[in-house]
Structures are given as structure tokens and as C-alpha cells.
Amino acid sequence: MAKAPASEQLRLLDLQALDSKMVQLTRRAAAAAKNADIEALQEKLRAVDRDLAAVNLEVADAERDLKRAETEVETVQGRIERDQRRLDSGTGTAKDLTALQHELESLGKRRSDLEDVELEVMERLEEATARQEQVRQASDALREELGGLEKIRDEQLAAIEAEKAEVSARRKELAATFDAGLLAIYEKTLAQRGIGAARLFHGKSEGSGMQLSPGDLAELRQAAEDDIVFCPDSGCILVRSPEWNG
């Protein structure tokens, strides 16, 4: 059975306290990183950005349709002006002038129809642009709120990392004061069991949280003071002292 002075075994609890603190800090960091409020805002922002992409496309389509409508109106207007000049000049036969007059009437109706289409497209563009601005404002507001939460999260993570660095330094300094053999047993137990050492307090193992059986307690009482013993339930080093055994 491996041995170590009882006083050295007792100091393992200080090392375990630092290791437990590191576990707590790691869990706190994971909880801070996985922020439910941030995730919810990110999902909202993704949905709003999808809406924004859709309305941007709608605006682009309306702008393209408006440009096409304006071009068509300009083309018809150009023909009207050209025909009107020819008609006003009075050149050509009566039949030609009559044909020009009919064409002008037809072009006037065509222009009117195109202007109606142009107006409809302008209204559609105005509505789409208004929606675009609303969605953009919603996106900006969400980004600002998200940025605030992310800043708080990052500050929390930075504080936790600073505390972890401090605890790690203290742990390294303390570990260096142990006998290499005892430290190796502790480290191996910690790696395998998740806890390296715990005290026995009035017959209860603080490693497992379980009351030891009378048989287990009897065996522990028979063990030498410098024997390294283990919790029968958790497997960690069981640190004993006269007031803790029961």
C-alpha cells in the first residue's frame, strides 16, 4: 500500500480545492459562452436578415421595373413628339396626315397606359422601400442589442479567464511542494475519477457524499496513519484525521 505522511495527505485537500475551483470556473465559462439570450437574439437577427434580403430583392425588382417603364414612356413620348412635328409641318398627303393623326391617338393611349403602369410600379417601389427601411431599422436595433450582450459576455469570459490564470498559478505553486510519488497518485486519481482527494467526515466520504459502511470504516481504522486509502464509492484518496473518522 502506498504511503504518505498524514499531514501531506491533509494538504491534498488544498490542492483539490484549487482543482475544484478550476472545474467551477470552466463550467462558468461554458455557461457564459452559451448564452441563451444571445442565441435567441441571433436567431431573431437571422430571421430579420432573411426578411431584409427578401425586401432588398423586391426593391431591386421594382427599381428595374420602374426604369423599364420610364424607358418605355420616354420611347413613346419621343415618337409622339416626332409625329406631332411631322403633323404640324403639314407635309405629306391628306392620307398620310390622317394616318399620323390616328397614330398619335394610338400613341397617346399607349403612353397613358404606360404611365399607369409606371405609377403602379412607383407605388410598389415606395411601399417596398418603406418596408425595407422598417426591416433595416429592426435589424440595426437587434444588432445593437446583440452587441451589448456580447460585450457583457466577453467581459465575463475575460474575468473568468483571469481568475483561472490566478488559480492555475496557485495550483502550480502548491503542487510543486508535494512529494512526486504522492502527487502522481493524486493526479492519476483525479484524471480517472474526476476528483483526486476528499475528506472523511464523521464516517461520510465527501468524495461520494455517501456514508461508509461499518465494514469499510473498520478497515480504515485498521489502516496505518500514513497509508493512502481510497473511497470505496468514488475511488478518490480519502483523507483521514482523528476528528473526521467516525
Residue pLDDT, tens place only, 142-189:
999 999 999 999 999 999 999 999 999 999 999 999 999 999 999 999
Contact of 220 with 240, CB cutoff 8 Å: yes
For the cut 70, the answer to whether the pLDDT of residue 243 exceeds it is no
Q: How far apart are alpha carbons 203 and 214 in whole angstroms?
A: 9
Query: With contact defined as beta carbons under 8 Å apart, do 23 and 207 qualify?
Result: no
Distances (CA, A) of 69 to 103, 119, 196: 21, 9, 79
Please state whether beta strands 197-201 and 237-239 pair in parallel, antiparallel, or not at all (unpaired): parallel
Model confidence at 18: pLDDT above 60: yes
Of 193, 69, 109, the C-alpha closest to 205 is 193
0.85 exceeded by the pTM? no
User: What are the structural domains of the chain?
Assistant: 6-22+179-239 (no CATH), 35-174 (1.10.287.1700)
| 19-67 confidence digits (pLDDT tens) | 999 999 999 999 999 999 999 999 999 999 999 999 999 999 999 999 9
Q: Quick one: residue 210, left, alpha or beta (phi over 0 = left, psi -120 to 50 = alpha)?
A: beta
Instruction: Determine the Cα–Cα distance for residues 139 and 166; give it in Å rounded to an integer.
Output: 40
* Cα–Cα dist 183/175, whole Å: 7
